[in-house]
Amino acid sequence: MCGIAGVYGLEGIGDAKRISDLLAGAIDHRGPDSNGVYLDSEVILTHTRLSIIDVDARSNQPFMDPKKRYVLAFNGEIYNYLEIRKELLGYNFQTNSDTEVLLAAWEKWGDSCLSRLNGMFAFAIWDKLNSELFLCRDRLGIKPLYFYQDDSRILFSSEIRALLQTGLVPRKLAKGHLEEYLKYQTVHTPRTMVKGVEMISPGSYLRISDNEIEKTQFWSLSQNRPVSSFNKGKVLKNVSTLLDSSVEMRLLSDVPLGAFLSGGIDSSLIVGIVSERLNIKIDTFSVTFDEQEFSEAKYSNLIAKKFNTNHHEIALNQDDFKQAVPKALLAMDHPSGDGPNSYVVSEAVKNSGLTVALSGLGGDELFAGYPFFKQYLELNQKKYLLSFPKYFRNLVAHFIKLKYQGIKGQKIAETFTLPYFDVPHTYPINRRALSDKDIKSVLCSYTGEDSLLHDLNSSFNWQETGNLPELSKVSIAEISTYMQNVLLRDTDQMSMAHALEVRVPFLDHRLVEYVMGVSDNFKYPRFAKSLLIDSYEGLLPDEVIHRPKMGFVLPWESWMKNELKDLCLSSFDYLENETEYFIGGSLHDLFNRFANGDKQVSWSRIWPIVALGSWMKNNKIE
């Protein structure tokens, strides 16, 4: 894992070396083992390396092919590089790295090599002969890649902060995206919270020359998949075979490797596969709290003992977290409603001496692990409700809100008044943070537009998704929104703040493609992720399979009302007094509602705003 950055178009830049130094300095934490730069009259390519596969200095980057035509800056891992290497007969390899294999594959097959890659990656290739820059991002968006374009040049980087550090990208908020951020605790690709900065979409690449930018989608999550099988036994066998293969590939490393272990189904299953299926003893890490209702130690210890792992408990108390939160906010490259959790556990794992950790991220999104999967199928069977007059449905919604006065009731009532019960309309309500009413009460300028609804309507066209199972349509929404733009982005920025690589076996594209084609009859969640559990019958104990779902949740509500209260209010002071976007006193009113137990304003609705204010202040965003 590494950091990459660069500039295409150096005309008017007086000191290109200074710009390259600024880029490298801004992403140095991502790759502390070495850094390098390629610089000519047209382009800067900067690379900071975290050495994992072939730690020899000969594999340092930027990396050139033997003919010196192509220059590569690469962030990520190509897990099947040894297989690809066998196809590159006659190539005189000088290293044992996946970096050299990637460049050799590009030299032989061009952009068609992308279909052969299994991994997580974001990379830049400079073609010196044709003066052409190629920027590419992996299928599932595991690795980030940002870019900025003006009339003179294009800048790109693994992190937004590197772009800002050059002084060539204005530190201005994309104020048109504020409503989306408050509504969904993030903004969705290609949008970011910095004006003019975009994120390259997952499974796509940019081909950039002096005259044009050509954007191409080489893989799509929403394309129709063939029905996997009409035989459940065969489906279960195929799921386990694909996941076993994915986990085994992601154990490839020349440095120490371990696994996050929460004691939930996903992380426990990965540990079980490594230990029992692959017969490898692994280091595992879990977080414990003084507040027992949030601690998962009972379950993580159960799994650690069952599979005889080298288990490490990371004990956190309120003082530990109070000290860690400001550091996590400083490490935040892009604001969101998540992050400090990943920062704390990544720091502890890195301090233990490990450089690579396996994560169960993606299991819920792929195998119907969230309640909304089942709720959507039930709602889909009640489309007859849409035939009732609008005034009647509005009246019913009013009584629903009176009966259920929390966030749940608000969402049920809003769903009842929708014009359609399809994924594009129902899913955004499921993932909503602040309500439209609350957003309108805090913003000086409010439009009521919903960018996510527009995105989903665009991606769910009949030609691509018409034959997909209904649960797979929900997976598309989960993966392309919340997972990619909150979970994956936060995992990357918080783990790489400590130079820790996180690998996600559930996001092997072969497994994703297969499961997307599995029928609802087999995937229906009789209990959470029942298809996944059935594929590994007997591997996990019932206590873990049927435990209450917690996720990785910290005692946020208590901490924000007490130990972290000053930090929250300081962020609100900044947003209300130092920016032009928020109505004076409105955020403090929102916090008071939260502090006084208003069921409509939970901690998870408040924290993204705290993160936004801290991020703007720390990065001097105008």
- What is the mean predicted confidence (pLDDT) over 107-124? 97
Same domain, 192 and 253: no
Same domain, 209 and 261: no
Domain contains 414: no
265-272 vs 297-306: helix crossing angle, rounded to 10:
20
- Given the DSSP bridges, would you call strands 146-149 and 197-199 parallel, antiparallel or unpaired? antiparallel
Higher-confidence residue of 555 and 262: namely 262
pLDDT at 463 over 60: no
- What is the mean predicted confidence (pLDDT) over 576-600? 94
Upstream peptide bond of 190 is cis (omega within 30 degrees of 0): yes
Confidence of residue 549 (pLDDT cuts 50, 70, 90): low
CATH number of the domain at 262, please: 3.40.50.620
Same domain, 190 and 247: no
Burial of 163 (C-beta count, 10 Å sphere; 0-12/13-18/19+): buried
- What is the mean predicted confidence (pLDDT) over 243-257? 94
pLDDT at 116 over 60: yes
Higher-confidence residue of 341 and 178: namely 178
- What is the mean predicted confidence (pLDDT) over 585-609? 93
Domain contains 322: yes
**Model's pTM, two decimal places?**
0.94
The confidence score (pLDDT) of residue 187 equals: 96
pLDDT at 465 over 70: no
Same domain, 122 and 269: no
pLDDT at 293 over 70: no
Domain contains 55: yes
pLDDT at 38 over 90: yes
Domain contains 610: no
Same domain, 58 and 123: yes
- What is the mean predicted confidence (pLDDT) over 449-453? 87
Give residue-wise pLDDT tens across range 175-220: 999 999 999 999 999 999 999 999 999 999 999 998 789 999 999 9
Phi, psi of 331 (to 5 degrees): -80, -10
Domain contains 8: yes
pLDDT at 396 over 60: yes
Same domain, 236 and 213: no
- What is the mean predicted confidence (pLDDT) over 227-250? 91
pLDDT at 91 over 70: yes
Structure tokens at 218: 């080489």
CATH number of the domain at 56, please: 3.60.20.10
Give residue-wise pLDDT tens across range 14-25: 899 999 999 999
The confidence score (pLDDT) of residue 558 equals: 84
Q: Which of 161, 190, 217 is the last residue of a domain?
A: 217
Strand runs (DSSP E) across 67-118, as ranges?
Answer: 70-78
By residue count, the chain amounts to: 622
Same domain, 242 and 203: no
Same domain, 206 and 249: no
Same domain, 199 and 244: no
Question: What is the number of other CB atoms lying within 10 angstroms of the CB of residue 152?
Answer: 12
Domain contains 454: no
Q: Which of 526, 545, 564 is the last residue of a domain?
A: 545
Same domain, 47 and 140: yes
Confidence of residue 367 (pLDDT cuts 50, 70, 90): very high
pLDDT at 320 over 90: no
Same domain, 156 and 52: yes
Q: Which of 503, 526, 545 is the last residue of a domain?
A: 545
Same domain, 249 and 339: yes
Measured torsion, CA atoms of residues 299, 246, 497, 13, in degrees rounded to the nearest 10: -160
The confidence score (pLDDT) of residue 196 equals: 97
Give residue-wise pLDDT tens across range 125-155: 999 999 999 999 999 999 999 999 998 999 9
Domain that holds residue 96: 2-217
Distance from chain centroid for Cα 99: 23
Range of lowest pLDDT (98-107, 172-181, 285-294) = 285-294
pLDDT at 399 over 80: no
Domain contains 372: no
Give residue-wise pLDDT tens across range 415-433: 888 898 999 999 999 999 9
Domain contains 402: no
Instruction: Decide if 55 contacts 61 (C-beta within 8 A).
Output: no
Cα–Cα distances in Å, from 266 out to 348, 366, 528?
Answer: 21, 11, 11
The confidence score (pLDDT) of residue 464 equals: 64
Q: What does pLDDT average to over the chain?
A: 91
Instruction: Decide if 490 contacts 345 (C-beta within 8 A).
Output: no
Closest CA to 519 of 362, 368, 361, 372: 368
Higher-confidence residue of 505 and 543: namely 505
The confidence score (pLDDT) of residue 551 equals: 53
pLDDT at 386 over 70: yes
**What residues form DSSP beta bridges with 5?**
46, 157
Higher-confidence residue of 298 and 46: namely 46
**What residues form DSSP beta bridges with 353?**
none
Confidence of residue 296 (pLDDT cuts 50, 70, 90): confident
Q: How many domains does the chain have?
A: 2
